[in-house]
Amino acid sequence: MTQLLRVVWTPEMLRYDFGRGHPMSPQRLELTMRLARELGVLEDAQLVGAQPASDELLQTVHEAEYVAAVRRADVDGTPDAARGLGTEDDPVFPGMHEASARVVQGTTDAALAVLDGAVLHAVNVGGGMHHAMPGAASGFCIYNDAAVAIRALLARGVERVAYVDVDAHHGDGVQAVFWDDPRVLTVSVHESGRRLFPGTGHAHETGGVHAPGSAVNVPLPAGTSDAGWLRAFDAVVPAVLREFAPQVLVTQHGCDSHVMDPLTHLRVSVDAQRVVAERLHGLAHEVTDGRWVALGGGGYAIVDVVPRAWTHLLAIAAHRPVDPATAVPAAWQEHARERYGRQGPASMSDGALAAFRTWHSGYDPSDEVDRAIRATRTAVFPTLGLDVDHD
């Protein structure tokens, strides 16, 4: 019998640690898994660890010279600024290669388990390192686990893989790897790069000469809240996924779109993030017969946001959705208080309605979000055989 859910988890995942004061704190993973356990989300899930990926697997995406540079940095702390190692975003830390390679193997194993039918869904909240480039670290990401896993699926004969990224930052690394590959659709709904790293992901970025329409980017203005964020997702993502008809869906759920995130400028709630996770889960069942690999990613409000957002993701993947009105367990609250010296959120909701107008309700040219949506639809929908104006 096919297992419903595999969750990649081992305490060794906490070794992906850039050090004290860095936004990418591994404690966000520990807090997530603790909350999910206390809410009973993982009762029927298969929890599995992962060994570090081999150099051979890493080099299906990453340059051999880059992998060697990461290994050198790991052994003796040697920075390599030209390859993004030893920078403010990606400082060198002991065990860096092994910790990063473990994330890659976890996501790749999860993707192949989904492909083989051993599990229906798989989640790696420690994954989603979407900025890493073939030859360089970038944006807190050393190796690109999503890209390596997608390459592994393609190597096994999968003809179409869709990657949907709802992190506040553009999924530039995954897009770059598959820019000219018509077998992979990359979709990114993110804050515009006008004020935010990495500065890419414009609507006109639609794929290489051999893969027109394979990249879909929805750059949203700073300050976009639930209504605009959900409207943008609804106006673009379901249509392009249905048209592309992938065999496997890989999604990245960076929750730094939240209004409390210290690094970004969107104003999204946990409630809206939960709605998008539900929509992607539903689309996986509709389009890929349920073959769904969900990853973590960004998210730097490590007590107030990340554990709730990713616990909702895990619960949805487990077919055990958590009522947003559910109280955060007292034991988890006490742990957060002891660890961080302050009170965490009281419930699994921000109290937001997470309501929006669908695209067929009409286009408002005076609305900045609507202009962004229309720019994306105009740039890519005709290439995919879709109507710019209508669903």
Residues serving a catalytic function are 131
Q: Is residue 191 a contact partner of residue 266, using CB atoms and an 8 Å limit?
A: yes
- Report d(CA 375, CA 186) in Å as an integer: 17
Q: Which residue bears the tokens 């539900």?
A: 278
- Report d(CA 317, CA 284) in Å as an integer: 10
- Report d(CA 73, CA 13) in Å as an integer: 19
- Report d(CA 285, CA 121) in Å as an integer: 10
Residues ≥6 apart with Cβ < 8 Å to 289: none
Exposed / middle / buried, residue 194 (Cβ in 10 Å: 0-12, 13-18, 19+): exposed
Q: Is residue 183 a contact partner of residue 159, using CB atoms and an 8 Å limit?
A: yes
Hey, what are 374's tokens? Answer: 């229309």
- Report d(CA 146, CA 143) in Å as an integer: 9
